[in-house]
Amino acid sequence: MNQTIHQSPTLVGTVVLPGDKSVALRSALFAALGEGASQVVNYPTSADPQSMLSCLRQLGVEIEEEDGILYIEGVGLHGLKAPDAPIDCGNSGTAMRLLAGVLAGQPFESTLVGDASLSSRPMARIANPLREMGAEIAMTNGFAPLHIRGNPILQGITYRLPMASAQVKSCVLLAGLYAAGETTVIEPTRTRNHTEQMLGLDHVDIGTDRYLTIQQGQRIPAQTYSVPRDFSAAAFFLVAGTIAPQAIIDLPSVGLNPSRSALLDVLRLMGADIAIENERERGGELLGELTIRSSKLHGVRIDGDIIPNLIDEIPILAVAATCAEGRTEIREAEELRVKETDRIDAMVKNLRALGAEVEEFDDGLAINGGAPLKGATVPSYDDHRIAMAMGVAGLVAEGSTTITDADAANVTFPDFWEQLKRCAAQD
Ligand code: S3P
């Protein structure tokens, strides 16, 4: 399905965002491994969270869904059942990598598969530590399908993350639930902290390294999980409300976990007008009400430790940069090349197609802002964040912009197009 967005100086409205993908997937998984009946409030209907549910059902977990609340009958750490077919993670790298950690410690064999995009994303990054712990993992050239011969007595290890990845960190920590003694992950650069926060793990910082440790058999109590509204979905409206010349957008109850919200700081540094009200905590996650108004932006350079904190927001930040005065350079972001698509390549090509002045680097991109954008037809590369970023670019590009395979947005934000068009009065 294609979507066409027309240039729109005005953007007004309140957008109720979907639940956070990272918290949702973890809530469902931890509830499944928990001891007894848990609930998950505000569980999203989007494709990635639904993929996690179908994986868990294949592993024998009973899940009911009613009015946006999940009722999950936890089976405990040792209650999963051997699946009778390959487990399909769809487009979700988080589902595949977190489940692999759990399956590595089971007394049965399993196979994890995914769609074409997920089958071309690197899995050696999890196979290496899991093998070190004693699991047998077979892949094809480092890609899924992932055949896992679980080992119920894994060995605890101390593992220094070779790349900044919350998925790899979480995979190793979850395998640690099944590993003799304790398992420690050393994180040289901070990534999103949902796993350690939700499992109540302590950390110790030594210099710039963070040590996270999990004990074998740590029990997960049954509980009510609450999924905040997704900051990474908010990002599209943070930028849309900033770059549309006459905009005011309200985003209620957005998750503001500090390990996820660096885009706010960067946009403010660029000159954006974003107000946060009623900051509060729910279920260990910070929430707030956001109001965004049109602003003039100027370019920035970002690199280093901040990158993992806004890695998913870089495609939409690149769109903001096209409207900023001066140069924006984003470096040390090579992880973007192994997301749902190569997001550096995709954004460089798509923004150039709209007439932006863009330079490509192995580890990022630079944009000389200010060149007026012109509508064109651009592909989504079957990547939700590329589809939505280009939709927002369409608001400021002269004429009309068509995004092909725009339903990729369903992976995290099923009513994105409806909401964007409503705010731009294009519905
Ligand atoms: C995620 C971690 C990030 C992020 C992804 C979700 C998670 O990936 O890009 O959208 O929920 O742990 P990496 O950990 O691979 O960087």
Averaged over 248-257, what is the pLDDT? 98
276 shares a domain with 209: no
Given the CA of residue 166, which atom of ligand 1 is nearest to it? 14
Residue 223 belongs to a domain = no
Distance (angstroms) between ligand 1 centre and the Cα of 12 equals 31
CATH of the domain at 357: 3.65.10.10
396 shares a domain with 308: yes
Residue 257 belongs to a domain = yes
9: preceding bond cis by omega (within 30 degrees): no
User: Each residue of 381-392: pLDDT tens digit?
Assistant: 999 999 999 999
Q: Which of 52, 309, 311 most suits a substitution to test ligand 1, by most atoms within 8 Å of the C-beta?
A: 311
259 shares a domain with 181: no
Distance (angstroms) between ligand 1 centre and the Cα of 97 equals 10
155 shares a domain with 47: yes
Predicted pLDDT of residue 16: 98
Please, which residues have CB within 8 angstroms of residue 207's CB and are 6 or more apart in sequence?
A: none
312 shares a domain with 166: no
Distance (angstroms) between ligand 1 centre and the Cα of 24 equals 13
Domain of residue 166, residue span: 21-213
Nearest-CA residue for ligand 1 atom 11 is 22
Cα 427 to Cα 423: distance, rounded to the nearest angstrom = 9
Distance (angstroms) between ligand 1 centre and the Cα of 166 equals 6
CB 82 within 8 A of CB 36: no
76 shares a domain with 160: yes
254 shares a domain with 376: yes
- What is the pTM assigned to this prediction? 0.98
11 shares a domain with 59: no
**pLDDT over threshold 90, residue 283:** no
399 shares a domain with 278: yes
190 shares a domain with 165: yes
Residue 382 belongs to a domain = yes
261 shares a domain with 188: no
Q: Give the end of a domain, one of 213, 246, 270.
A: 213
Percent of the chain as helix, strand, coil, to the nearest 5:
35, 30, 35
User: Each residue of 195-209: pLDDT tens digit?
Assistant: 999 999 999 999 999
Q: Which of 21, 22, 98 most suits a substitution to test ligand 1, by most atoms within 8 Å of the C-beta?
A: 22
Residue 91 belongs to a domain = yes
Q: Give the end of a domain, one of 188, 213, 238.
A: 213
Active site residues: 312
Domains in the chain, number: 2
Q: Give the end of a domain, one of 178, 213, 248.
A: 213
Given the CA of residue 164, which atom of ligand 1 is nearest to it? 16
**pLDDT over threshold 90, residue 68:** no
Predicted pLDDT of residue 427: 85
47 shares a domain with 9: no
Pocket lined around ligand 1, Cβ cut-off 6 Å = 22, 94, 165-167, 170, 191-192, 311-312, 335
Averaged over 321-328, what is the pLDDT? 98
Q: Which two tokens stand for residue 341?
A: 């698509």
Distance (angstroms) between ligand 1 centre and the Cα of 312 equals 8
Predicted pLDDT of residue 124: 98
User: What is the total residue count of the chain?
Assistant: 427
Residue 256 belongs to a domain = yes
Strand 10-14 relative to strand 285-293: parallel, antiparallel, unpaired? unpaired
Residue 219 belongs to a domain = no
